[in-house]
Amino acid sequence: RPQWRGVVNEYRDLLDVGAEVPAVTLGEGGTPLIHAEGLSERVGAEVHVKYEGMNPTASFKDRGMTMAITKAASRGAKAVICASTGNTSASAAAYATKAGLTSAVLVPAGKIAMGKMSQAVAHGAQLLEVDGNFDDCLTLCRKLSEAYPVDLVNSVNPDRIEGQKTAAFEIVDALGHAPDIHVLPVGNAGNITAYWKGFSEYVRKGLAQSAPMMWGFQAVGAAPLVLGHPVDEPETIATAIRIGNPASWEQAIAARDESGGRIESVTDEEILSAHRLLSSTEGIFVEPGSAASVAGLLKSAEAGLVPSGAVISVTVTGHGLKDPQWALQAADGSAVTPTRVPIDAVSAARELGLEDA
């Protein structure tokens, strides 16, 4: 079988990119859509998990970044800049390097997961830590890109949304039809905007008969779209979505309303519990921000809001290895420590609770 060619080449005729423009790709997209039996049973529906941690830099950002860097490189750009809670910086750094561009990233000091920070550094980004939150970083980046010859590759860049919409295409392609409900975490609100664009375009092109209801979930301490006003000091352990003033605010509200969907919030405890459930019952390891979608689905089911037998796709946005510390704490918050044994099969068997044959 031919190798998957990345989202620009796989979906070029559905994207805003010329036929001759060479794609800057690391083979992103084509991620697994996993039927989650345990989760399905728990919520009384047919649940499929779109595992975006399987992208080259281990988050969904690569779909948008391949497009943004492809277009920036084709315009002759030399440098790109972005604000990030971590994943965008990792992705921008990798794709910029692949294209021979330089990258600069601004991140909130002390509030990005180590896996993400190490990716940005490894790929040679110029990394600035800002004494402020993500929203402050984005404001700074906008100013810099207006005043200096550097391209902004945050999701306010329409090329990012254009690339990210391909995840919606893949879900419909894999299921053979659109789901009834699509669930995802919401931070800066680029991704909910992108998925809604993708699902809507498939309907308009006759490639899907319907579009799903969009259900987005924010963390309680960073839930401006739920509250209806910006949050000055967003707080959540899910640092990926620690955002108080989403750039794609109106588009997110439009996606919610046009689809007949909802944007609600989940607590950090609900996020961590969904994170644990996914890894321990489905075999899917995600970062906490990604688990907000699953937490929201579980909460909705408890509230009786999940129609019985509905087909539901749930995006988990980033890999668990990005921010692995959360797996090493038990439900009660205590540290998980392995039991130490001598080099002796009998002792190991006793510790493992193995029966005599």
- Compute the least distance from the CB of residue 87 to ligand F0G, in Å: 3
- Per the CB < 8 A criterion, the answer to whether 273 and 331 are in contact is yes
86 binds ligand F0G (CB under 6 A): yes
Contact string (CB under 6 A) for ligand F0G, positions 292-331, x = contact: -------------------------xx-------------
User: At its nearest, how many Å lie between ligand F0G and the CB of residue 350?
Assistant: 41
Whole-angstrom distance, CA of residue 221 vs CA of residue 237:
9
Candidate list 186, 219, 272, 294; residue touching ligand F0G; CB under 6 A: 186
* Binding status of residue 221 toward ligand F0G by CB under 6 A: no
240 touches ligand F0G (CB under 6 A): yes
Residue 189 is labelled as binding a ligand: yes
Which stretch of DSSP H or E encloses residue 102?
Answer: strand 102-108
What is residue 154's three-state secondary structure? coil
Nearest residue (CB) to ligand F0G, 46 versus 277: 277
- Alpha carbons within 13 A on the beta-carbon side of 334: 4
Q: E-strand spans in 31-180?
A: 33-35, 46-51, 79-83, 102-108, 126-130, 151-152
88 binds ligand F0G (CB under 6 A): yes
DSSP 318: B
Give whole-number Cα distances, 287 to 160, 238, 254, 258, in Å: 21, 8, 27, 29
Spatial neighbors of 191 by CB under 8 A, at least 6 apart, are: 60, 155, 164, 184, 185, 315, 317
Contact string (CB under 6 A) for ligand F0G, positions 136-175, x = contact: -------------------x--------------------
6 vs 86 by CB, closer to ligand F0G: 86
Q: Is 218 in the site for ligand F0G (CB under 6 A)?
A: no
- Judged by the rule CB under 6 A, the positions of this chain that interact with ligand F0G are 59, 61, 84-88, 155, 185-191, 240-241, 287, 289-290, 317-318
